Structure 1
Amino acid sequence: MIEQEVTKAIEWIFESYTRVPPAKRVGFDRDVRHPEWTRWLLDAVGRPDESAYNVAVTGSKGKGAHAILLAAILQAAGLRVGLFTSPHLVDFLERLRVNGMAVSNEDFVRLAKGVRETTKEIPLPADQYLGPVGLVAVMASIWFREQKTDVNVFELGRGAMYDDVNRVRHQGALVTPIFAEHLDKLGPEWSDVVREKLGVVTEDTTWTVSYEQDAVVERMMEEYFSTRHQTWRLLGRDFTYEVVCGTGGVCSVQVTSAKGETLRASMGVNLAPFAGNVAVALTAAGQVLKSLDMGGQTLDVSLAHLAFPGRLQVISKRPTCLVDGTIHAVNARFVVDWLLRAKPSGKVTAVLSLPDDKDALGVVETLAPHVDGMVFTTCSNPHLRYTRDLVALAKEHVQSVQWEPDVEVAVQRAQASAKPEDTILFLGTQSFVGDVLRIFEVPTKSLWHAHQIAGREPHWFGN
């Protein structure tokens, strides 16, 4: 059956990585990763990444959200868009999309078989491995070329300079907020993390659009770009935005640059907390359109039908159930904004899955004034660790706190004990988000409600 072939293809993708002893995979990325093999593969299969205009997305927070928003905006502007993201939420095939729709089982298996044959020719040393995400990025590049996409958006992993996906040639770069994260892989200092992330700017990259950054990061970026001739645009310095929410659950984000350019996107009120992300994605889309000689000065698009899976997504009502990848205080503030807009009439319970490397204290302190109780749980990902006593931590802020180690039991009990007027917030790491979507049987094959919207001609102000 085709499902079994998909499973075998996924197993092969991780085969090279798991073959190498764990000790050879531990350390800083610059010492243990070899993304040059991804470039070798891309060259060996005919350089499919040169068939379209590519944008790479890096940063510490919101990479997937920005990548999805950029792809959605470009599609709404009439382009055929490939989207590569990682990790997936429910189905591995979500990582490869064209116009919001995931690759088919048949195409995925075919692509994997083709790339696998090419890997047999690679002169790979015994103590090195082919990065799993790099293999999938090569498959995505081939599929995007077959699908004749106009633009492709690639989400990078934790780094950039030694990230396999960064070896996909890209003309544009989008940088989300950079935090002092993954110090054991990108560090040891925050400055090392920034340098690693800025590796997204390659010799092929002509422009970079960035979200607002911490002052330390901004100074490093200023210095970095001072020696380069690429265009660099920073939210708050080179462009600003405003949000207007009207009746009928519709909001709009309007971006104005220092040069007077105007870009706008209308969207559902559920996306209002992501207005800054939308503004950055709009600005990046404007750069793409300008590079393709399609204008981009006064773009106006609609994201009203964007599903945005796992991001402030209401997946059920009576009780209202919302799921979001909340792992630190910044995400938690988005959830609080949503609660203030929704004004729930019943009790609010937060079911939280926060592994050891996430900002549990920030999440708890931010949510505590707005919830009636918290339930802590784990997720189905066996590689994540949950060793902290989060119940004790939360009891200093919330009266009702529980611990349920089985994620399915935690989700089902929360739903069963809630009244129709209550609200349940399922918040935590992406693996947990995937668990919740799977338990609730939420479809994730398409990024658009009622399947995908067709590419259309962009609307320009004044037309």
Structure 2
Amino acid sequence: MDYPAALAYLLAPTDPGKPVVARPDARQNLPRMRRLLDLLGAPDRRYPSVVVAGTKGKGSTAAILAALLRAAGLRVGLYSQPHLHDYRERIRIDGLPIAPADLVTGVARLQPAVAALADTPALGQTSTYDLGTALALDHFGAAGIDIAVLEIGLGGRYDSVNTVTPLVSVITAISLDHTAVLGDTIEQIASEKAGIIKPCVPVVAQRQRPAAAAVLAQTAAAQAAPLHWADDLVTVAPAPAQPDPLTGTQTLTIAPAPPYSALATLPLLGQFQHANVAAALGAALLLAEGGHVALSPDVISRGLAAARWPGRLEIVRRDPLTIVDGAHNADSAAQLRRALADLFPDRPLTLILGTSLDKDLPGIAAALVPAAARLVLTVSSHPRSAPLDLLHRATDPHAVPTTDTPNIPAALARAAALAPPGGLIVATGSLFIVADARAALGLAAAVAV
């Protein structure tokens, strides 16, 4: 078996063109994954883990935590999704994507276990996500990592990653997204995210809206799981002197309990990253209290300086200045607008916008389009990309001069022609838009973090 065949095996169960919907057999996800992992020799029980869930910021938080743990000298596995350019980005050890040969070897180990699982049809069919999760956990076990940071893919309660019992659970900001699967209220979505809370396992959560906070608190109490609000554990604030945002960095003051206070440079823009840093550091502090990692101000500074998470307020071109961001719901779009106003207040905005069919197009448009001097609508190469007519329905009411383009390369070229000297181009609306923009600008190699 070669790499293309191994990748085809992983992707075969899923049609990428179909929208994400609730599976009627979702309750079988965890028993099915547990059985699959046991058939592989229970690799998830060979190393400790941290599980990260949330609507926004979970990828950044997981990457920041992994960088902190690496700076402390640990060998760290990071499982995240989706990838930007290469499936291998989902499975990383010490920041590097799984090698093609290792992916082939892992799939060869996986196939007999999947075949044996078929003998228990009541557990349901394995999904592409099941296969990728099992592959990641098995690869980490075979590689002898010290600890894994595992990002929940969707929701929490019935996510395959939730099969793992971690040392610490982390929950980032909760907002409306994937409503067809998780529910259409904050309380419903919070309940699904809170499904990762395990008996007696400590939880670090970002500060939430009152309705979501109440759900997390009730669930943690029912599970006898200590609940720590991240901003109670760690204060993260901008340092008085800040670098030029064109460097792609910001300087932070970190004030957890002594002796861990530090001054650190973070190569991720946006004040919204402060909450992600607090959540990651809060989890690291709990791990340190348990003797699982040795922290110091130097470790914190080096770890934050090494954190990478492409596609989030990322500068990808200098002339004309171009930024990509994966904002894909109304809340994250509003955060992006505030960040742009804070970082680049005097630059006229040319907005490249495209999104996926299952997203809140009116909410995203309302948050971003009024801030733009001109709008370039486009579609990504992904089959679930929203067509131009749907984008127009959401954006036309805002009366911003608009140009249609058939793809991201054309959108980037048109935006460059439209943007005035000293202007700013931002491509956003989905990670598929981000991936296509990075690829069009020659940044499509498998991303290390």
Deviations, residues 224-269 of structure 1 (Å, cap 9, x unaligned): 1223332211134555432215254463334445x66745462246
Distance 1:188 1:330 in 2: 14
**2:323/2:427 contact within 8 Å kept:** yes
State the match for 1:10 in structure 2.
Answer: 7
Look up the match of 1:135. 131
1:63 maps onto 2:61 in alignment: no
Letter of the 1:221 counterpart:
L
Check the 8 A contact 2:351/2:376 in 1, yes or no.
yes
User: AA paired with 1:134?
Assistant: D
Is residue 2:296 matched to residue 1:300? no
Q: TM-score, normalised by structure 1?
A: 0.85
Q: 1 CA distance for matches of 2:229 and 2:7?
A: 38
- Asked if structure 1 preserves the Cα contact closer than 8 Å seen for 2:369 and 2:400, the reply is no
Matched letter for residue 239 of structure 2: V
Counterparts in 2 of 1:291 and 1:447: CA distance versus 1, 3 Å: farther
The structure 2 residue matched to 1:159, chosen from 132, 137, 155, is: 155
- Where structure 1 has 5 or more consecutive residues not aligned to the other structure, the ranges are 449-463
Residue in 2 that maps onto 1:89: 84
Structure 1 stretch 356-365 or stretch 222-231: which is displaced more? 356-365
Name which of 228, 237, 242 aligns with 1:242: 237
Q: Give the aligned partner of residue 400 of structure 1.
A: 401
Indicate the residue corresponding to 2:106 in structure 1. 111
Deviation at residue 388 of structure 1 after TM alignment = 5.7
Distance 1:206 1:253, change over 3 A: farther
- State the secondary structure of the residue aligned to 1:120: helix
Which residue of structure 2 lines up, in the alignment, with residue 266 of structure 1?
264
Structure-2 separation of matches of 1:67 and 1:179: 18
Tell me what 1:439 maps to. 440
Work out whether residues 28 and 186 of structure 1, in 8 Å CA contact, stay in contact via their aligned partners in 2: no
Deviation at 1:83, TM superposition (A): 0.4
What's the C-alpha RMSD, in Å, of the aligned pairs? 3.0
1:47-446 correspondence to structure 2 within 5 Å: 47-122=42-117, 123-125=119-121, 128-187=124-183, 190-203=186-199, 206-237=201-232, 239-249=234-244, 251-256=250-255, 262-264=260-262, 266-268=264-266, 270-273=268-271, 274-296=273-295, 300-302=300-302, 303-343=304-344, 347-368=348-369, 370-386=371-387, 389-418=390-419, 421-446=422-447
Q: Please say if residues 53 and 171 of structure 1, whose CA atoms lie closer than 8 Å, have aligned partners that are also in contact.
A: yes
Residues 356 and 388, structure 1, Cα contact 8 Å, conserved in 2:
no
TM normalised by structure 2 equals 0.87
CA drift of 1:140 comes to: 1.3
Deviation at 1:96, TM superposition (A): 0.6
Contact kept in structure 1, 2:238 and 2:251, CA below 8 Å: yes
With 207-216 and 280-289 compared, the bigger mean Cα shift is at 280-289
Indicate how the Cα distance of structure 1 residues 371 and 68 shifts in structure 2: closer, same or farther if over 3 A, else same: same
Secondary structure of residue in 1 paired with 2:264: strand
Separation in structure 2 between the aligned mates of residue 366 and residue 318 of structure 1, nearest angstrom: 26
Change (3 A) 1:194 1:347: closer
CA spacing shift, 1:223–1:46, aligned 2, 3 Å: same
Whether the aligned pair in 2 keeps the contact of 1:318 and 1:422 (CA below 8 Å) is no
Residues 364-410 of structure 1: CA deviation (Å, up to 9, x unaligned): 33334543111111211113444764335434435311222433322
Counterpart contact for 1:245–1:251, Cα < 8 Å: no
Alpha-carbon spacing, 1:292–1:88, altered in 2? closer, same or farther (3 Å): same
Q: What's the offset of the Cα at 1:60?
A: 1.4
Post-superposition shift, 1:441? 1.8
Q: In structure 2, do the counterparts of structure 1 residues 352 and 187 end up closer, same or farther at CA, with 3 Å as the change threshold?
A: same
Query: Residue type matched to 2:352 in 1?
Result: V
Partner of 2:32: 37
Instruction: Provide the C-alpha distance between the structure 1 equivalents of 2:446 and 2:101, rounded to a whole number of angstroms.
Output: 15
Shift in CA distance, 256/30, structure 1 to aligned 2, threshold 3 Å? farther
Where 1:55 maps in the other structure, the secondary structure is: strand
In structure 2, do the counterparts of structure 1 residues 338 and 96 end up closer, same or farther at CA, with 3 Å as the change threshold? same
Equivalence for 1:455:
none
Aligned amino acid, residue 359 of structure 2: K
Aligned residues: 439
Q: Contact between 2:350 and 2:426, CA under 8 Å: does it hold in 1?
A: yes
Q: Secondary structure at the match of 2:239?
A: strand
Q: 1:224 to 1:351 in 2, by over 3 A?
A: same
